[in-house]
Every structure is written in C-alpha cells, then in structure tokens.
Chains A and B, each alone.
Chain A
Amino acid sequence: MWEQIAANQRRSAVLLTTMVVVLLLLGYIGGEALAPGAGFIGLAIAFVIWLIQLGVYFGAAESVLLAGAGARELKKEDSPRLFNIVEEMVLASGLGRMPRILLIDDPAPNAFAIGRKPDSSAVAVTTGLMHRLDRDELQGVIAHEIGHLKNQDVKFMTLAAVMLGSIVLLSHIVLRTLAFGGRSNRRSDSRGSGGGGQAQLVIFVIAIIFAILGPVFAQILYFACSRKREYLADASAAQFTRYPAGLASALEKIALSSQTVAFANKTTAPMFIVNPLAAAGRGFSLFSTHPATEERIRILRNMGGASLADYESAYKRAKGGALIGPQSLQAAPAQSIRAPSNDGPIESQAGTHAINYRRHGYLPLHCACGLDISVPESYDRDTINCVRCGSELPIPAVAPAAPAATPKAPPLLGPLQYNRTTAGWESFRCACNRTIQLSPAFAAPHIRCTNCGRSIAIL
C-alpha cells in the first residue's frame, strides 16, 4: 500500500513544482516588466508571499474550522457501531492510529476527513448520514475518508491551496503595479533606444498575459488535483472494504438527498465526500472540487474485483485515462469482492438525539423561520413554541440511554424468596417481571435476577 502512496507523493511533488515554477515565473516576468533587471526582486517577492501563505495555512488550527460546524467528538459509548466501523477501517487500511470521530448535527448526509498530522486527524459524519445508511454503506463512506487520510490528501490539498492562493495574490499585485508603474516606464523608455522600448513592451504584454492566465491555469490544476484525489480515495475505499457496491449505494443515497450542508463553503468543500455545495442535478465543471457523483457510482458498480487494478480498469472504461498508472499497479494484489452483511441503519433518529443530549447538554432544533432552538434535557413536554414565529414544534422522541453494564439494585420491593415445589425445571417471575428459570441441578441458596440484579433466596 505504501507503494501507491509513494507514487502519489511523487506525482503531487511534480504538480506542486509546476505551480511553484508558475509562481516564480510570474514574479520574475512581472518584475522585469516593471523595471528591467528587477526580475529577481520580483522573484524574491513571489517567494516571500509563498512563505507567508504557508505559515498562515499550516499555522491555523483545524479546530477553528470545526467550531463553525458545531461538531462534537464522540466517545465509544455514544455510538458503538460507528466507532466499531471506524476501527475496522483503520485496521483494514493499516492507518495505525484511530482518528477522532465527530458528529455534526445536520440533516444533509455527508462526511469529511481532516488532519495534516496523524495526531490531529479526525473523521466527521452528519446525523443525516447516520439515519440513512446501513452498515455496508457507512463502512464504504468511512473507508473513503480514511483513504483520504492514508493518502495524505489533506496535506496535499492544503499545499495546493497555498500555491493557488500565492499565485492569485501575486498576479493581483503584478497587475496592479503594472497598471501604475508601466505607464511611467514606457514614457521614460520611449526616450531611449527604440529596440529597448520594443523588448520592454513585449515583456509587459507577456507579464499581463501571465498575470491573467496564471490564476486561471492554477485554479484548473487545483480542481483537477482535487477531483483526482477523490477518485483515488474511492479506489482505496473499494480496496479496504472489498465491497465497492457499499460505497456506490451510499453515494446514490447521498446524491438523492438534495440538501446542502449548512456550514460548508468553497474553502471547506474539498474535504467532504460529495460536493456539499452542489444540489442534486447541478452539473459539474472544470472548477468542481468533486467529480460528478454518477461517474463515481458508475465506476464503482463496474468493478470486477476489489483491487486497485480493478478500479483502474473500470476508470479507463468510463473515462479513458489512467488514474494510478501501471507502475504503481504492479505490486497491487488481486482481490475479490466479499459478500454483503445485512445490517440496518446505524443509528435511529432517537439514537442520534440521545447522543446530542449527552454531548451538547441540549437537543438542537431548527424552526422553519430560521431560529435555532436548544431544548434542555429537563424539558418534558411534547412540543415547544418557537420564540420568533410562534409555531409549535414537536420534540422528537429520544432513545433511552444505554443501561450500565451492571444494573443497580432497585429499592427492596416484593418477595425476595421463592419456594421450590418440584425437583425439576421451574420458573417464576421476579418483581421486575423477568422470568427466572431454575434447573434441577441448581442447588445454590440464592439466584440473581439478570435484569434487575436482585438476589432471590431459593427455599
């Protein structure tokens, strides 16, 4: 598996180098256009801009991003199934370290992964996703996200974003200063030799073209990288789960729901599994962060096996190009698809509401007028009136909290002894209404009720 990562890293390095070259060229030409011989100063300025952007992006804490989402970290007891699924995928991918698991309260189904370093990596799921997907499908989604973490996509896309930001900023500066300084330059040069003025004009024009086309070119490159990474994560997911149909049907369900995720914007969009900004049906363009979902589903459903090579051939059939490259596929083993498991939705509505109560301390409700209402756990009526518009909102049912492993003994009520009447099998009811069976071999003086924990004397 590390072979594929190494190949990806090499390819990423090539892409980033291209963007660096564009950035530095832009600086040089811009400097030259401004004042002949000042090319290297322009280069230096470009470099400095790049360094500053790097510092800003890599210094910023990811928690800032999540604060806007209202994401809460889940512990194992909140949703053991989700936790187990993530753990399974960590084992299948060889990631080595469990990421943090976050739950976002949003009816739109989506998921994302963040984390430049293994320590700070996290996977987030929306409650909408938990209600809709079954185990195989959620496993596919989580595998896709963990694929992103394993392929170090977040680090790569952050670097690419920095690159893009620097190019855009620099081109802006170049265009501005050329508009100001260019005029005076041309005036002074026209007094000089004609040949010098000509060359200067040419460089000027080239600089402007670069400054305009540079950002466009860089953007196209950036979004192409983003889309390619999504395909690679899909391939990784199929390989980890050995069940590409799971991810395919999850994508179908996500695409069917036309809701957009509340806190997503253009910056955070690449991290999601399906473009959170595109409602279902909106086409994709050169500037989309994600490939068209139908395309991804088609490739996944077309796979003959579950290995990277199978994904590659399905990709070729659908799109005609190479994704991973024959070199890295040499060491990829052939893998067959496993049988599906038959499990229902991961968490019911009531289940996620219980999680919300436990983690937030309140239940978030959203009124149609746009107001967010926080219902405390102690509120015991069935409905609540919106403060702004007055409409009555029903409070959804909450699943009972999971009982403690050893139930506490209830207060002493009812008989705590039982008289045996025969020497064979007997059963009686405990005070908590649990049927207790006594076998002929049972000879102890007490029996413990498995439901409430009461100790009942057998006489």
Chain B
Amino acid sequence: MPVAIIILIILGALALGVVFWFIGAYNGLVRLRNQLENAWAQIDVQLKRRYDLIPNLVETVKGYAKHERETLENVIQARNIAMGAKSVGDRAEAENILSGTLKSLFALSEAYPDLKANQNFLKLQEELTSTENKVAFSRQFYNDSVQQLNTSIQMFPTNFVATMFHFTRRDFFEVKEEAVREAPKVSF
C-alpha cells in the first residue's frame, strides 16, 4: 500500500479523534451549565417554600407570645425584604438576615412552654428547619456546579471550546456570615 494512503488514513483517524473529543467537551460544558441552572431553580423553589411557611409560623407564635411583637415584626419585615431582593448578592444578604430573625424567634420559644408543646408549632419548626437545610444544600450543590463549570471553562484544552461557544464564568451564591455571627438576644 502506498505510503501516502497510510499517512492519509492516520491523519483521518487523528482528525476523527479530535472531532470526537470536541463533541465530548462541548457536551460536557452544556451538561454542566444545565445542571447549574437547574440547581439555581431549585434554590428558588426552597426559598419560596420558606416565604410561604413564615406567615403561618408568625400567626401560631402570636397566639402565645403576643408581647414579643418586635421579634415577630422583624421576621415579617425581613421576609418582605428578601422577597423583594433582585440581584444575587442582595438576595443572599437578605436571606441571611431572615435566617437570623428566625433563629431569634425559635430561641424565644424556649421561654413559652405552652408554645413549645403546641403540635402545630413543632410541625412548623421542623418544616422551617428542614427548609433552611434544603436551602443550604441546594446552595451547596449550586456552588459546586459553579465551581465545576468555571474550572472546566478555564482548564487547558476545554477553554478553546468554551470561548468558541461563549460559555461564561458564573458567580457563587455567596453568604456573608457576618450579619448572623452574633448570638440572638432574648429578653424576658
């Protein structure tokens, strides 16, 4: 067999290999991006769930701890602010503050044994704690996905595919822990 044909075959195989790699890299990036967007939607779902649960909680607590109007109002205010926040950074901060107010509310319930024994309150407490966890986990998954996508976009061979098809780096859903650092104060 003439050498030229052999060389042609080898080159053809190489080219095919490159094409396959290319397809694989592109599909990988697409998969990561979709995973990321799905994760973001999930965070939204959990946050909305929290917003819906809060009024119910406030009503239940009101029946027992009417004197603690300030804490309750803080919770409702924080919730409204969080619902209205637009950008990722604002939202993260508002959510943080809301978590803080909820913590004070639950700490407060320690002083009212009637409230603590109320089945409805216990159910709501479990739901809210679980929703907080779910928000945390969906945020965790989102941040992991962001990191994977960013790494893939930057690593050597894949970055060509990324720039060619305009895959951009994403931001993390950052949580500034400073606002919640102080322990909630409960006054009797």
Contact = CB atoms under 8 A, between A and B. Distances in A.
A353 interface: no
Interface string B145-183: 101100110010000000000000000000000000000
A2 B141 contact: no
A91 B138 contact: yes
Contacts of B138: 91-92
A94 interface: yes
Contacts of A91: 42, 46, 134, 137-138, 141
Contacts of B147: 333
Interface string B17-54: 00000000000100110010011001000100000000
Nearest to B137: A92
Contacts of A451: 118
B66 interface: yes
B31 A2 contact: yes
Given A3-B148, A91-B42, A437-B66, A80 B141 contact: no
Interface string B112-124: 0010001110010
B63 interface: yes
Contacts, number: 71
Contacts of B137: 88-89, 91-92, 240
A80 B127 contact: yes
B140 interface: yes
A87 interface: yes
A451 B121 CA distance: 11
Interface in A426-459: 434-435, 437, 439, 450-451
A88 B133 contact: yes
Interface string A85-125: 10111011110100000000000000000000000000000
A158 B147 CA distance: 33
B74 interface: no
A331 B39 contact: no
A402 interface: yes
Most buried by A among B32, B39, B140: B140
B140 A242 contact: yes
Contacts of B77: none
Contacts of A92: 137-138, 140-141
A81 interface: yes
- Which 10 A-B pairs rank lowest in CB-CB distance, beginning with the nearest? A84-B130, A92-B137, A333-B147, A450-B63, A91-B137, A91-B138, A88-B133, A403-B119, A88-B137, A94-B141
12 contacts: A1-B35, A1-B148, A2-B35, A3-B148, A85-B130, A87-B134, A89-B137, A91-B141, A92-B140, A335-B144, A405-B120, A435-B114
